[in-house]
Amino acid sequence: MNKLLLNPAIKPAVFLLCLLPFAWLVYGAFTDGLGANPAEYLIRATGDWTLRFICIVLAVTPLRVMTGLNALARYRRMLGLFTYFYVVVHLLSYSWFDMGFELGEIAKDIAKRNFILVGFAAFVLLTPLAATSFNRAIKAMGVRRWQRLHKLIYAIAGLGLLHFFWMRAGKNNFNEVFVYAGIIGLLLAWRVWNHWRKKNAPTRSAAARVQPSK
């Protein structure tokens, strides 16, 4: 499986797969296939896909560690950039269809409505991650500082989930919120467990070495 994931043809295939939701939305927009309110549909759909890609990005490391498929790591950067792509399209859809690109009104709306404020905060935090997702940035920053910066993805996931929760609170519809919260919660809990496991592994090994033989 690792050999398959390292095949040069797989990465372009994954790229096209990640682009399919956007292509489908564009197709729907041109064929009147987005329902009675196409603008709202586009805003909601691009927001949903942003949250889905956050979940996918967070799932890469647990899958890599648990399955031994180290080649999965080579797709994480592209998946992260697609997360940013969908959040940009989400923001543009809101700015265009809801606000008509009136920057003053957009600023007032962000300050006035909490769910938009936290969504915009997630976008702001995601921007430096996208801007440093290339080798030259890693080299310039140093690996440790780059890794610390990219841990912002955990805060971004929380803000994205809160944005989604407050948006659905208006309609008292939380079913999908609970699904995303469960997925993100499990992925973050795995990281806490894995960090604890690695931190305590040397201690357990040392204890085993000094244990008296029977």
Burial class (CB in 10 A: 0-12, 13-18, 19+), 40: middle
Distance of alpha carbon 172 from its chain centroid, rounded? 25
Domain boundaries, the chain: 2-193
CB 34 within 8 A of CB 50: no
User: What pLDDT digit, counting tens, does each position of 53-80 carry?
Assistant: 999 999 999 999 999 999 999 999 999 9
User: What pLDDT digit, counting tens, does each position of 6-54 carry?
Assistant: 899 999 999 999 999 999 999 999 999 998 999 999 999 999 999 999 9
CB atoms within 10 A of CB 67: 11
pLDDT at residue 194 above 50? yes
Alpha-carbon distance values, 132 to 84, 138, 148 (Å): 12, 7, 12
pTM for this one? 0.90
Q: What span, in angstroms and rounded, lies between the C-alpha atoms of 174 and 196?
A: 32
